[in-house]
Structure 1
């Protein structure tokens, strides 16, 4: 089970700050998130998604992943 944490606009679109998912890859997680939270569809493609603190590709396995962070672009200085 992987803990997914949502921040800023992603948190608002998901309606929660965190949820647990059991999926094989980051790509499968993206599909699951979009299906579970349709409001994330437009935001997720612009988000940085970190798996245990690192940016990785959609084919990355999540079997040993502890945390996935969904971080929308931030504005400001």
Structure 2
């Protein structure tokens, strides 16, 4: 199962800092998150979603050792 880590506003919407998920691809994970947490619908498209520290396409397979980071846009200077 993939480990999903949420940061900042994504953590607030998810209600957790981290969870394990069983979706087979990144696209399936995105769809499941929006279906389960409607607040993600407005935020997730603006987030950087990294698998193993890299941006990948939605068809990316999520193996048992995958780490997915959901990073909302950050402001500051």
Q: TM-score range by the shorter chain?
A: over 0.9
RMSD: 1.0
Q: TM-score, normalised by structure 1?
A: 0.94
Tell me which residue corresponds to 2:25: 25
Aligned partners of 1:65, 1:42: CA distance in 2, in Å?
28
How far 1:65 moved relative to its partner? Answer: 4.3
What CA deviation, in whole Å up to 9, does each residue of 1:26-55 have, x standing for no partner?
A: 000000111121111100000000001110
Aligned partners of 1:44, 1:72: CA distance in 2, in Å?
8
Instruction: Say if 2:41 is the partner of 1:46.
Output: no
Q: TM-score, normalised by structure 2?
A: 0.94
Q: Single out whichever of 20-29 and 56-65 deviates more from structure 2.
A: 56-65
Q: Please give the secondary structure, in 2, of the residue aligned with 1:70.
A: strand
